[in-house]
Structure 1
Amino acid sequence: MSVALFSITILFAYLLGSIPTSVWYGIGYFGVDVRRLGSGNAGATNTFRVLGKRAGTIVMLIDVLKGWTATCLAPLLYYFNAIGDSEVLTYKIIFGIIAIVGHIFPVFVRFKGGKGVATLLGMVLAVHSELALVCITIFILTLIASQYVSLSSILATLAFPVLSLLGVFGQPDPLLVAFGFAMFLLVVFTHQKNIVRLLKGNESRVNIFRNSKRDQ
């Protein structure tokens, strides 16, 4: 692939990830900037907390779609013979990570975005859908049991490289395992404050199954 095409694709993946879904949706439909309420985070979890289940679900799905679309740029390039078959996974990971970086540091809202979990989920769905579904199950079960989104996100993210390493879905791919652990460290980094609150026992719980006033 040429340097020009690679640069354009990287830029597109970053701008795609940079779309501040929670901010634009909150202001556009509710006149509310979610960064000024709740945890102050521009992500799906705070949208659930501030604007309710319906808004949170919409924001989450769009953020997932951002990661999935950016990652799928790799097979699109392969379809047009811009990259080889052996390079698809590498470029999937590159473009997906760039989208996550865009979500965390979005150019459209002064580089202050969300924590990237939903966008990471979209990326993982495009990279390894079967493993992603297992991680989603772990996330949901942990959330039901604890009502902590942060804890659910951390455990679900950790499950990806661990299950990859154990070869649950076939021979372990070193690149996939390394990517998984790198993403786990990124999630831990973006959830530092949440981890401190979890250890202190004062982390906020989110009951996504309860309707808020905005959903009624």
Structure 2
Amino acid sequence: MISIYSLSALVAAYLFGSIPTAVWIGQAFYGIDVREYGSGNAGATNTFRVLGKKAGIAVMVLDILKGWTATNLAYLIGLSVTGPQHSVQFANYQLALGIIAVMGHLFPVFAGFRGGKGIATLFGMILAVHIEAAMVCVVVFLIVLLVSKYVSLSSISAGFSFPLSVIFLFHSPIRPIVVYGMCICVLILVTHQKNIERLLKGKEAKVNFFRKKQLD
């Protein structure tokens, strides 16, 4: 049975995820809704593309913090609800909070349910759950980005590296982390469907984070 504390944490996780950092920063400091430009997504990549490096970095850091904070809400009630921190029950609850935060980013209540693709928030969740695997994801992302110049391909590759590293590099004994890692792969494929289609057709745009912002 879900306690009032557990339910409150789940609601809080969704609200954390729903904070539309790209939209609010764009509107507050630039008078621009980033969803009306570029890819139309309210995420860090489109913010880099539309508003430039400073805004993009701010959005990326805050979106990662959203996922990390929401996932770590489990620690506030972990002793009374789930028992030992490293138990399967605790891992299940922690991961559920992180996934709900990602759903909040995808469908933010504070921005008309039009959010981003959730990669930065998803990374924040992974960072809270398994920091070693999260670092592998960073390395994979950077290598693929340097080689291909495709953020979408880099994000997909990094997402797939999480369950693989958990299974083959770190041999995690907590099965829910492996299962959720596989679910992450499915989620990334769904949210990047259009990107995958453009990649296959050779029409996906390469990025240069250091060029001047483009609003046209």
Question: Corresponding residue for 1:199?
Answer: 200
Contact 1:164–1:172, Cα closer than 8 Å, also in 2: no
Report the RMSD for the aligned CA atoms in angstroms.
1.4
Contact 2:9–2:74, Cα closer than 8 Å, also in 1: no
How many residues of Structure 1 are paired with residues of Structure 2 in the alignment? 211
Contact 1:67–1:122, Cα closer than 8 Å, also in 2: yes
Question: Corresponding residue for 2:139?
Answer: 137
Question: Corresponding residue for 2:177?
Answer: 176
Residue 171 of structure 1, CA deviation: 4.2
Residue 205 of structure 1, CA deviation: 1.2
Contact 2:136–2:165, Cα closer than 8 Å, also in 1: no
Post-superposition CA distance 1:158-203 (Å, at most 9, x none) = 011112222x113453211111010110011000000000000010
- Following the alignment from structure 1 to structure 2, what is the Cα–Cα distance between the partners of residues 171 and 52? 39
- Following the alignment from structure 1 to structure 2, what is the Cα–Cα distance between the partners of residues 17 and 78? 20
Post-superposition CA distance 1:127-177 (Å, at most 9, x none) = 0001100111100111111111100000000011112222x1134532111
User: How does 1:146-185 map onto structure 2 within 5 Å?
Assistant: 146-166=148-168, 168-185=169-186
User: How does 1:88-99 map onto structure 2 within 5 Å?
Assistant: 88-99=90-101
Question: Corresponding residue for 1:36?
Answer: 36
Residue 109 of structure 1, CA deviation: 1.1
Residue 82 of structure 1 aligns to which amino acid in structure 2? V
Residue 6 of structure 1 aligns to which amino acid in structure 2? S
Question: Corresponding residue for 2:5?
Answer: 5
Percentage of identical aligned residues: 53
Contact 1:23–1:42, Cα closer than 8 Å, also in 2: yes
Post-superposition CA distance 1:111-141 (Å, at most 9, x none) = 1100000000000000000110011110011
Residue 11 of structure 1 aligns to which amino acid in structure 2? V
- Following the alignment from structure 1 to structure 2, what is the Cα–Cα distance between the partners of residues 77 and 6? 7
Residue 83 of structure 1, CA deviation: 2.5
Return 5+ residue gaps in structure 1 as ranges.
none
TM-score (norm 1): 0.93
Residue 58 of structure 1, CA deviation: 0.5
Residue 5 of structure 1, CA deviation: 1.4
Q: Secondary structure at the match of 2:81?
A: coil
- Following the alignment from structure 2 to structure 1, what is the Cα–Cα distance between the partners of residues 34 and 2? 40
Question: Corresponding residue for 1:188?
Answer: 189
Residue 17 of structure 1, CA deviation: 0.2
Return 5+ residue gaps in structure 2 as ranges.
none
Q: Does 1:59 align with 2:59?
A: yes
Residue 25 of structure 1 aligns to which amino acid in structure 2? I
Question: Compared with structure 1, are the counterparts of its residues 6 and 147 closer, same or farther at alpha carbon in structure 2 (3 Å cutoff)?
Answer: same
- Following the alignment from structure 2 to structure 1, what is the Cα–Cα distance between the partners of residues 174 and 17? 26
Q: In the alignment, which of 100, 118, 121 is matched to residue 119 of structure 1?
A: 121
- Following the alignment from structure 1 to structure 2, what is the Cα–Cα distance between the partners of residues 82 and 171? 23
Contact 1:13–1:70, Cα closer than 8 Å, also in 2: yes
Contact 2:37–2:50, Cα closer than 8 Å, also in 1: yes
